[in-house]
Amino acid sequence: MTLSPAIETKAGRLHTALRDAILSGELAAGSPVDEIGVAQAHGVSRTPVREALRALRSEGLLVPGARRQLHVVDISAEHRQEIATVRTALETAAARVAVTTRTSGDVDGLRTLVLRQRRYARVGDSSAFMAADEEFHRTLAGVAAMPTLDRLLDQLGAFVRLARLGQPTPQRHMMALVREHDALLDLLEEGDGEALAEALGSHIVSTAPRT
């Protein structure tokens, strides 16, 4: 059965609202999420709620628990390691291609992102810093112009953000990341794909949340 446009729109809005709540930590890991509760909280029928929850489950952000009740996914230490491993494989693959597709505009745009990160680090704004960090990595991978890889990173991005929830980012750590990003861009500019991939892989692994 095809849903009406109105229901699809409601489901889309609910999906976005619930996804944002999960990724911000407003809906904590392990929290139960049920159709009736969501429908009452948002003042809608259960049909768009069902569609939104189905989409979140397909993304892996909701998982079935006892009595088939859905819960917000809990990122375990093993899951964090898996996320870092997959992210490293995807981003380093993009890096090897990016050195052959980069333009001066690409490098300038990435340098601007690093400057923004440096400003956030200096004032200790870790939330804005990490948002800019995500943008830096996605933009760097995007230089490779590999749509399939971009889609995979989109899917992985939610788990990267969840893995970081509650992880402190001291100012000294932010400044260290800025220096590493500068070094990565130097390698991109030099066109050394293997060196860039190796440095990027080490960077991702060393900064991945452990617990």
Average pLDDT over residues 143-158: 95
Is 10 a residue whose pLDDT tops 90?
Answer: no
Q: Is residue 159 a contact partner of residue 22, using CB atoms and an 8 Å limit?
A: no
Global pTM reads: 0.86
Average pLDDT over residues 107-133: 95
In the chain, the percentage of residues whose pLDDT exceeds 70 is: 95
Three-class HEC string of the chain: CCCCHHHHHHHHHHHHHHHHHHHHCCCCCCCEECHHHHHHHHCCCHHHHHHHHHHHHHCCCEEECHHHCEEECCCCHHHHHHHHHHHHHHHHHHHHHHHHHCCHHHHHHHHHHHHHHHHHHHHCCHHHHHHHHHHHHHHHHHCCCCHHHHHHHHHHHHHHHHHHCCCCCCHHHHHHHHHHHHHHHHHHHHCCHHHHHHHHHHHHHHHCCCC
Is 6 a residue whose pLDDT tops 90?
Answer: no
Is 9 a residue whose pLDDT tops 90?
Answer: no
Average pLDDT over residues 108-112: 97
Note the pLDDT of residue 1.
Answer: 40
pLDDT band at 209 (very low <50, low <70, confident <90, very high): confident
Summarised one tens digit per residue, pLDDT across range 32-52 is 999 999 999 999 999 999 999
Average pLDDT over residues 170-188: 96
Note the pLDDT of residue 5.
Answer: 53
Residue with tokens 């996914």: 73
Note the pLDDT of residue 166.
Answer: 79
Is 124 a residue whose pLDDT tops 90?
Answer: yes
pLDDT band at 66 (very low <50, low <70, confident <90, very high): confident
Compute the mean pLDDT over every residue in the chain, rounded to the nearest whole number: 92
| Residues 44, 22: Cα–Cα separation, whole Å | 20
- Range with the lowest mean pLDDT among 12-16, 139-143, 194-198? 12-16
Note the pLDDT of residue 185.
Answer: 97
